Amino acid sequence: MEGKTVECGVSDKTPPIDLGAADGPGHGADGSHVSNGNADATTPPSPPKANLFAWLQVVGAFCLNLNTWGLMNAFGVFQTFYQLHFLQSHSASSIAWIGSTQAFLLFLVSIAAGPIFDRGYLKSLLWTGSVLLVLGMFLTSIASEYWQVFLAQAVMTGLGFGCVYLPAPAVVSQYFHRNMALANGVASTGSALGGIIFPIVLTEMQLRIGFGWAVRVLAFFLLVTSVVAATAMKSRTPARAPRNLIDRSAFHDVPYILLNLGLVFGFMGLYVVFNYIQLFALDETTVSSSQADYLLVTINASSLPGRLIPSYYADRVGSINVQTAVALVSAVLTFCLLAVRTAPAIIVVSVLFGFAAGAFMGLPAAAVVNLSADKAKIGTRLGMTLAFVGMGVLIGNPIAGTILGSDGNWVGLLVWAGALLMASTVSMAASRIAKVGFGFARVI
């Protein structure tokens, strides 16, 4: 999978862009020097200066996060609708495979998207992924059986996610240095906004025009925002020589491996709560049906400041430090759900959980960059990280659905999610200690 034979659609090649920043031509993804297209990093020059064009890349990344993570964060609405209406003859675990496969493909395809991005095929990734994403949602709107929904929403849309997601943090990281975590945090607010807009659109429009047309309206929205991202985003890094899909040196990098374990456990636990919070509220609390419909919106709305405020401080106290803290908070809140029985309580926990989850989801790119000594391999390492996480996400929700079963074992499901988030906390803390030791003064 090298050279011009590696394409994700059209054959255009993103040219190197000189923005007149502090670095001149021939500098890498984050300001590291690149000579004659080689991927090897040498002496880093002064960091690039963020300008209007740099923030335009954040707008493009915002749209990509809106269309990928935002849509995945809204799958709880699909899970509830399918389980109670459209696919009620299928188990919760079977339905969960749709969302988990979709997320898994986002992560798995990223392991190929990383080297493709490094080779200069940004536009090919964006346009091909956009076509798959939009077409997958249109086909979902006319599906009438489980296998049709699975192929359209899980497989086709998931492949589209995989093509377009990685360019978001990879491109933004090329244009920012000092405020990289903040810039990626701003871009990741698209995930939160999508998690707010999409559940409302699907819930309200499904009541008025039916599920099929509600999904088509969503697909038209995705079409517009995909075109914005594909048109606006430009890679700052010159195309590099072909490289392997995997950076083998990463397997000897203990802090990086521990970080990946923490991210795998963390995303598994978070998505269990995201996908099942609405059903949990209907079964176990006094919340009304209309209030339950907006719990996922509440979580995603509160994740918006969660992606911005902690990201601002992450640039000052360390992205891994912040991510470890919010993983612990998420674990505690998940265990708190075991005692929640009233509508006010579920709303309060949802708000706090959304803030912590937003912070956790907005920081992985900055953490990977901070742990990567060779900045020219950021695309490859981001792809590897996403692939690792995808393997966990694939099985997390189906296992939760099996634990839940037909008798509604919510205690088992919540303990499963909470244990995953505690494992994430331990792994993230171990990554930080392996990198800089126990001294809290060190920023990482």
So what's the pLDDT on residue 33?
37
Task: Give the integer Cα–Cα distance in Å for 96 and 114.
Answer: 27
Give the model's pLDDT for residue 238: 67
- 3-state SS, one letter per residue, for 107-176: HHHHHHHHHHHHCCCHHHHHHHHHHHHHHHHHHHHHCCCHHHHHHHHHHHHHHHHHHHHCHHHHHHHHHC
Handedness of CA 294, 300, 302, 305 (dihedral sign): negative
What is the rounded CA–CA span in Å between residue 247 and residue 249? 5
pLDDT in tens, the chain (444 residues): 333 333 333 334 433 333 333 333 333 333 333 333 343 443 434 445 657 788 888 899 999 999 998 898 788 888 888 888 888 888 878 888 898 898 888 878 877 887 788 788 889 899 999 999 999 999 999 988 899 999 999 999 999 998 998 888 888 877 777 777 678 778 878 887 888 888 888 888 888 898 889 999 999 999 999 999 999 888 876 666 666 667 777 788 888 899 999 999 999 999 899 888 888 998 899 888 888 888 888 888 888 888 778 877 777 788 888 899 999 999 999 999 999 999 999 999 999 999 999 888 878 877 887 777 666 677 678 778 877 888 888 888 889 888 988 778 899 999 999 999 999 999 999 988 888 777 655 556
What pLDDT sits at residue 28?
36
Q: Are 69 and 133 in contact (CB under 8 A)?
A: no
Q: What is the pLDDT of residue 380?
A: 76
Please provide the size of the chain in residues.
Answer: 444
Domain 27-38+46-436 has CATH 3.40.50.300: no
Output the six-digit token pair for 139: 């086909």
* 4 CB burial (10 A radius; 0-12, 13-18, 19+): exposed
User: In this predicted structure, what is the pLDDT of residue 244?
Assistant: 66
Q: What is the model's pLDDT at position 158?
A: 92
